[in-house]
Structure 1
Amino acid sequence: MTDLIAKLPIASVTNPILLWLFKHGWEDPNWGHLPVNQVALGLVLHDLSNKLADRALQEQVQELAQKVIIENARSVAKQGT
């Protein structure tokens, strides 16, 4: 399986979550494994799903993103208390 690498001009990205991730997150190869990072990824997926033309597919992606957010947010909340 080949890796897909996409280069976007940073000026074309307006989503604040994606901007933060581009600036701080994806530089670390181990980034994304902590629950708080999974919440961020879920939020990004949910936001990006709005760009899908197929409404049924959009709903499926949003549902999966919501599950990721909910499950990991519970873990983050437990760690904070």
Structure 2
Amino acid sequence: MPRVTLSLSDTAAQRLLELAGSQRKQADYIGALIDAAWENQRAGAGVGVERLRLQIVGLAAEVQDLRARLLEVEARR
């Protein structure tokens, strides 16, 4: 496992120790945070693309609805 040296403020170091539970678990805790942030970022990008796709599908459906209404109005004339 690669070694990494971090410089933290006294407050951040104390909070990390509290969150991790012990000095030995600090590296595991930071590793888990990084893994979670990475997964969240990847999932977020995928959600953005899916959201755009659904918006485009919704807009296409609205266009079809408006076309049908226009044809109906023109047919009444």
Normalised to the residue count of structure 2, the TM-score between the two structures is 0.34
Structure having the higher helix fraction is: 2
Which has the higher Rg, Structure 1 or Structure 2? 2
Higher relative contact order (CA 8 A, sep 6+): 1
- State TM-score, norm by structure 1: 0.32
